[in-house]
Amino acid sequence: MVFANQLRGLAALSVVISHFAGVFWGMRDFIGLSTSSPPIEGATPGVVVLLSNPWFNYGPFGVGIFFLLSGLVIPLSLNRHTRASFMAARLLRIYPTFLVALLIEMAVLHASAAYWHRPFPFSNWQIAENALLIHTSLGQPVIDLVNWTLCIEMKFYLLMTLLAPQMRSGRPLALFCVAGGIVAAHLAVAWGLFGLAMPNGPGFWQASSYESLFLMFMFIGVLFSFHHRRQLSTPWLLAGVATLFTAFSVCWPLSSIGSQFPVAWLNYAYAFVLFSVLYSLRSYARAFFPLDFLASISFPLYLVHAMVGFALLKWLMIGWHWNYTSAVMVTFASVVLLATLLHMTVERRTMALGRRLAK
Side-chain half-sphere exposure of 340, counting CA atoms within 13 A? 9
Digit-coded pLDDT (tens) for 316-333: 999 999 999 999 999 999
Digit-coded pLDDT (tens) for 249-303: 999 998 888 877 888 899 999 999 999 999 999 999 898 888 999 999 999 999 9
- The pLDDT-based confidence of 224 (bands split at 50, 70, 90) is very high
Cβ contact 307:143 at 8 Å: yes
Report the residue count for the chain: 359
d(CA 264, CA 242): 19
pLDDT at 201: 53
Digit-coded pLDDT (tens) for 113-125: 999 999 999 999 9
Going from N- to C-terminal start, the domains of the chain cover 2-358
Digit-coded pLDDT (tens) for 126-138: 999 999 999 988 8
pLDDT at 42: 87
Backbone angles phi, psi at 56, to 5 degrees: -145, 130
pLDDT at 257: 84
pLDDT at 140: 85
pLDDT at residue 15 is higher than 70: yes
Taking only Cα atoms into account, the Rg of the chain, rounded to an integer number of angstroms, comes to 20
DSSP 3-state assignment of 1?
A: coil
Digit-coded pLDDT (tens) for 156-174: 999 999 999 999 999 999 9
pLDDT at residue 194 is higher than 70: no
pLDDT at 192: 74
Beta-carbon count within 10 A of 320 CB: 10
CA-CA-CA-CA dihedral for 48, 54, 59, 64, to nearest 10: -150
